[in-house]
Structure 1
Amino acid sequence: NFKPYGDADLRLTEGVTVIHGLNGSGKSSLLEACFFALYGSKALDGTLEDVITNGEEETEVELWFTHDGVSYRVERRLKSY
């Protein structure tokens, strides 16, 4: 429930990845989700409530990646009150 994404699973493999689409389709939101997972609210331009999909009460971002042969998992959740 992060911005336009209700549920998304994006797997990027080694090499170059190109993300393209129409304006407003969610390309920037994918990067924002990664920044939010890593850095929290400081990575967001708007308010925390702006990232929760309209009509939903919470958002969750899970980021899995490997660096220098070590696997990492970062999870961040946000609830609106």
Structure 2
Amino acid sequence: MLLAHPALLADRVREYETLSALDADEGGAAARRRMDDIAYSLCVATGTADVDAAVVAARHRLPGARVHDDSLITAMHRLRR
């Protein structure tokens, strides 16, 4: 399977989250179409059929992503020392 470049994934995830926050799916035809296009490209780029799964899969492929992000726990543990 071909993997999308992390920069492409980061851009698509950021745009999808922005459109979601602005409720683009409730907006005009152009906004809904763009949201659908971004969701489709995320699904294709990650090999998933569901946009929510695609966003999760894309995040896991981004640089610095960890399966279990315990960065807050680790930071708090360091502060307590």
TM-score range, shorter chain: under 0.3
More helix by share: 2
More strand by share: 1
Decide which structure has the larger Cα Rg and report it.
Answer: 2
TM-score relative to the length of structure 1: 0.26
TM-score relative to the length of structure 2: 0.26
